[in-house]
Amino acid sequence: MNARENISVTLADKQLQTAIYSATARLANGRKAAVAAEVLSAYQELRQHAHDLKKHVVDHLDFYLEQLEKNVEARGGKVIWAETGAEACDFIQNLAQERGAKLVVKSKSMVSEEIHLNQRLKHAGVEAVETDLGEYIIQLAGETPYHIIAPALHKTREQVAAVFGENSDATAEQLTAVARARLREKFLAAGIGITGANFLVADSGAIVIVENEGNARLSSSAPPVHVAVAGIEKIIPRAQDLAVFLKLLVRSATGQSLSVYTSLLAGPRREGEPDGPEKFYLVLLDNGRTRILAEESKRQTLYCIRCGACLNACPVYRKIGGYSYPGVYSGPIGKILTPQLLGQDRDPWLPFASSLCGACGEVCPVKIEIPRILLELRREIAEAQPKPGESAAFRIFSWVMRHPRVYEQFRWVRRMKKIPAAGPLKAWLSQRDLPPLPGRSFREQWRERNRHEK
Amino acid sequence: MKPRVSIFVTCLVDQLFPRAGMAMADVLEHAGCEIEFREGQTCCGQPAFNSGFAREAREVEQYFLKVFEGAEYIVVPSGSCAAMIAHHYSEPDPRIWEFSQFLVNFLKIEDVGARFEGVVTYHDSCHALRELRIKDAPRRLLRHVRGLKLVEMEPAEECCGFGGTFSVKFPDISGAMARTKVEAILRTGAQTVVSIDSSCLMQIQGALSRAGAATGTMHLAEVLASR
């Protein structure tokens, strides 16, 4: 089933509808409380500051990437440049094979989903185990993340118990304990730990990982090798900029003022240090990002810090859920990111599946103008892949609206006894009734009123 | 001196909800404005603009600007059309006022002398709320209406699902959003849903009617014109 076909399936699933709506409401309410003026008076200034920082770094990406590479290597790490997802997967697969690693632990990373790393490793005979609880659940279920920060948002406790092979009356605590015991063994046995990165700090060569479960910290420190995979846009200039981004990211994502764990990792274990990996690799992924960079009007898409706030605020996501979007990124950000990463010709309907309500732009912590970019994409698609019927309809629309005498003839439609229910009208009536049609338009009534008054 | 107001009633109000337009003219006259209705007016061009037809939208824009040439204040019974003209035209047009905004922020009138018996709930239309920052003005006006009790729906700021052509390109998503809106409305126990956008009201009324609910819909201007 493709993404578009999944829409009606999701809409018809009552249990799923309740699950999505209540989980997103919980996250959205958490965010709202965490950024309220009483608790974070500088919220709007912080958003603007974060936007300006991202703009600066994205506009000067070449400079900061070189600075980052230099500083990562000065700390004893190695930077791998991957132009495509396949190149990133090649590197990790080869590394696993060279080291004879049969088991890899992974912490949550949307980029690794984007490049389909798990499938690649499985194919190469390497077991990759997701260690974030939500990711672990969906991995066992054979699914993909439903939500950028809450990958198993759509699963009920009973469904999780079934996936774990436990009794259906197991409590959430019991299920968590089961996962914890199973995963602990994996951490200790793994030859490589793979993580994403929330931020890459150019001036210190550090990567920053934000998480609540401690699994990313274990993934990056227990195995002898740590590989971090990140998109090139994750860069920030200085460590002090974290004061802005950490405040916004976690509050926007879950409503916490800070996540349980915030790890700043710079390079592998150095002499005299008791723990940490022997080797550290940072895979920097392009995979279409420089194409987005080249398009100034849509470049803001690269500012995204993957907090998921736009998903929780989106009345469309809250109806159609995470599997109704092509690509791994769902919600409003997926609607603008996926067409730019994968090309607009694959799913030209995507940017049109929005009521343009603007709720996404309102909650975005880095002020990405998602509705404006949706409109840009619509313009590009209407031009590059015109639908003959629609193009003709809007030519007629424009002409009629510039000829008021012709426009007025709409009254004949209004006065029809029964309007044939076809096309848009049929679509309208599939869900809603029509309003009673007035006999006379405003202009007819206005003329009459003025006649009487004179 | 009486402010000279040129009203742009929008194509939707002109053709489908003329009562809202007549009511707006009535309230503005009552508030001391001199009203003109320019016969050449049609649409702001938003349907083309939002569908990606930039050239067609610009043509309609040029036509609109010609029709309203020389107008001092243009008052519109729609947050969505006002936002289109104010924010998405080639140049921002400072003459544009959404109706409730014009009353409260320009004329400084909150009590228009209306009387309306009943419990109402107010629907925030997205473009008014997020593009024009209209949240308080309609509520202030409603609170001054004699006999009227305003009950807020929860959530009030969630989209009704209309979205122009979205409503017919993705009818099932749009319909599902409308039903969620209807549930929020019914929880308030209000007899009437009020908004400053007839497009939202068309969607909400259509879904209320399909759900068999007796709740009605009225444009803010119609409530304010009740005496």
> What does pTM read for this prediction?
0.96
Last residue of a domain, one of B106, B128, B162: B106
Alpha carbon distance A71, A264 (integer Å): 14
Residue A330, chain B, CB below 8 Å: the answer is no
- Residue A454: what pLDDT? 60
Smallest Cβ–Cβ distance between A319 and the set B127, B166, B173 belongs to: B173
Q: Please list every residue in chain A whose beta carbon sits closer than 8 Å to the beta carbon of residue B157.
A: 359
For position B162, which CATH number holds? Answer: 3.40.50.11810
Residue A442, chain B, CB below 8 Å: the answer is yes
- Residue A450: what pLDDT? 86
Q: Please list every residue in chain B whose beta carbon sits closer than 8 Å to the beta carbon of residue A361.
A: 130
Q: Which of residues 2-21 of A touch B (CB under 8 A)?
A: 7-8, 11, 17, 21
Smallest Cβ–Cβ distance between B178 and the set A378, A431, A434 belongs to: A431
Residue B23, chain A, CB below 8 Å: the answer is no
Fold of A39-287: Rossmann fold (3.40.50)
Could B210 and A431 be called an inter-chain contact, meaning their C-beta atoms sit closer than 8 Å? yes
Q: Please list every residue in chain A whose beta carbon sits closer than 8 Å to the beta carbon of residue B43.
A: 401, 407
Tens-place pLDDT, residues B96-115: 999 999 999 999 999 999 99
Alpha carbon distance A196, A295 (integer Å): 26
Q: Which of residues 289-328 of A touch B (CB under 8 A)?
A: 315-316, 319-320
Tens-place pLDDT, residues B36-66: 999 999 999 999 999 999 999 999 999 999 9
Tens-place pLDDT, residues B61-104: 999 999 999 999 999 999 999 999 999 999 989 999 999 999 99
Do both B122 and B215 map to the same domain? yes
Q: Please list every residue in chain A whose beta carbon sits closer than 8 Å to the beta carbon of residue B165.
A: 352, 424
Do both B99 and B8 map to the same domain? yes
Tens-place pLDDT, residues A75-124: 999 999 999 999 999 999 999 999 999 999 999 999 999 999 999 999 99
Do both B64 and B93 map to the same domain? yes
Domain that holds residue B33: 4-106
Alpha carbon distance A135, A346 (integer Å): 27
Domain ranges of chain A: 39-287, 309-384, 395-453
Number of domains, chain B: 2
Residue B216, chain A, CB below 8 Å: the answer is no
